[in-house]
Structure 1
Amino acid sequence: MKTPPDSPSFPFSTFKLALVGSIIFSLQGCAVVAVADAAVTVVATGVKVTAKAVGAVADAVIPDSDDGN
């Protein structure tokens, strides 16, 4: 018994499945990179703000040695 001409053959449907799977996995990889990049940006900004705050507190607590004497 022959298959009708409009039904896909086995290798073609396997190829489509592999192609769709590859596209899905590559998009997930992009999402993971985007989330990781956002997390690194948030942490870097937090460290920068914390360093500025610590520097401001240190400047306020430690007296200047340049009194003009």
Structure 2
Amino acid sequence: MKKLILCIIPLAFLVSGCAGMIIGETTSAALEVAKVPFKVGGAVVDVVTGD
């Protein structure tokens, strides 16, 4: 029984680390997608104003 627990505990940490990485990457991607309209809007303003 102790061997089973000693195997399960490290696996639990690995799974939580993977979940954290997935959440972090998803958040980063969502932030980049949210920035796109502002970048496009800035480019349009630059074209219109001649900068």
TM-score, normalised with respect to structure 1: 0.61
Gaps of 5+ in 2: none
User: 1:63, CA displacement in angstroms?
Assistant: 4.3
The answer to whether structure 1 residue 41 and structure 2 residue 29 are counterparts is yes
Aligned-residue identity in percent: 12
Which is helix-richer, 1 or 2? Answer: 2
Match of 1:25 in 2: 13
RMSD (Å), alpha carbons: 1.8
- CA deviation string 1:35-60 (max 9, x = no partner): 00001101112223311111112222
Match of 2:39 in 1: 51
TM-score, normalised with respect to structure 2: 0.77
Name the count of aligned residue pairs. Answer: 51
Which has the higher Rg, Structure 1 or Structure 2? 1
